[in-house]
Amino acid sequence: MDAVMTKPSPAPQRSSDLAAIVKAIEAPMLIAVGGGVGDMLHTTPMIRNISRRLGIRVDLAVSEEYPKSLFLLHNPDYVNAVYGLRQVSLARSYDTIFVSHFFGAARVPFRAKRVVWSRARDKFWVGAVHETIFNLESARELLGIPYDDADAREYYIGDFIYRPPKESLIGLHAGCKSGHWLAKRWPHFSTLAERLMQRGYRVASFGTPDEYVEGTENRTGGTIREMCEAMLACSHFIANDSGVMNIANALGIPLLAIFGPTDVKTLLPLRSTSAAIALDKPCAPCHRKNPPLFGSGQCSCIGDISLAAVERRLNAMLAGAPGERVVFTR
């Protein structure tokens, strides 16, 4: 008699697996965040803190500004799923939705038992406190979720883990967004790169192809994810105030950021590996003190930050000296 072919019985589902599946399906909380790279990364300490304090993984909705950037926020330890607004997040129902300030003013028809809008409370004012602290403080005040100083330094990018490379490679990001934001571009990157290479350092440019610094290794172009992967080879990084600066900080690469018209006190990320050079002038930062001038694109004060001032702070970083977190210069 021929053998009777039967389907093998499925393995019994473990209770722990079922609990994980149910927990993911329930998705009790959604956090809505802004879509600029800096806005996204300044929320990661808050996302991590909420997840750890509540003992859950959360869903995220992002007003995505850049294609293929959602991976920046997806960490399997803290996050179930990350959605762009055109995706299914609006069709799902949640116990709680927390809409952060940087998500924007649009009243999206979220479905939840409770929707908490950060912008509904005028107690918090962007510019009065650091943006990372602003997010953590909003969640503390509106959701009752505490945090401590260490939580404010815990940025992340996806599941990337930075390990200092054996060989030195200094990364540069000489660009930023276009329009009046061009006032954030320090004009001396070419000379700095040349001097570093004369001293025997390898130097590479990151960002978009138009941000390439002549004579350096060209690692510009590609997707944001590809850039993040390439940046892991850097031992140090120098950047204007930009999304790439925030990526270097979140990865944990020792970072020197250059601030002119924007506010170093509220925008320089808080990792202990990040430091900055900024202007000490009565008119600075004009982004806060004189918005019409900044908006006109006529501000050129970042050029007042000398090559010598940047080299002094960078040399201390290269030597492993702690140095000041922010050095103000005229």
| CB neighbour list of residue 287: distance below 8 Å, 6 or more residues apart | 261, 262, 263, 294
Cβ distance 56 to 29 under 8 Å?
yes
Which domains can be identified in the chain, with CATH numbers? 23-153 (3.40.50.2000), 170-329 (3.40.50.2000)
In this predicted structure, what is the pLDDT of residue 84?
87
The rounded distance, in Å, linking the Cα atoms of 193 and 211 is 13
Kindly report the length of the chain.
Answer: 330
The rounded distance, in Å, linking the Cα atoms of 215 and 132 is 36
In this predicted structure, what is the pLDDT of residue 124?
58
The rounded distance, in Å, linking the Cα atoms of 255 and 239 is 8
pLDDT, tens digit (0-9, with 9 covering 90-100), for 100-125: 988 887 778 888 999 999 887 656 56
The rounded distance, in Å, linking the Cα atoms of 60 and 50 is 12
| Closest listed residue to residue 134, CA positions, set 275, 287, 284, 267 | 267
In this predicted structure, what is the pLDDT of residue 82?
93
Cβ distance 310 to 237 under 8 Å?
no
Cβ distance 277 to 325 under 8 Å?
no
| CB neighbour list of residue 324: distance below 8 Å, 6 or more residues apart | 275, 313
89 backbone dihedrals φ, ψ, rounded to 5°: -60, -35
Cβ distance 72 to 157 under 8 Å?
yes
Cβ distance 40 to 247 under 8 Å?
no
In this predicted structure, what is the pLDDT of residue 292?
78
In terms of Cβ atoms closer than 10 Å to its own Cβ (0-12, 13-18, 19+), residue 281 is middle
| Closest listed residue to residue 98, CA positions, set 158, 28, 153 | 28
Is the whole model's pTM more than 0.75, yes or no? yes
| Closest listed residue to residue 59, CA positions, set 41, 42, 84 | 84
Cβ distance 117 to 52 under 8 Å?
no
In this predicted structure, what is the pLDDT of residue 125?
63
- In this prediction, the residues of the chain whose per-residue pLDDT falls under 50 are 1-15, 17-22, 24-25
In this predicted structure, what is the pLDDT of residue 5?
33
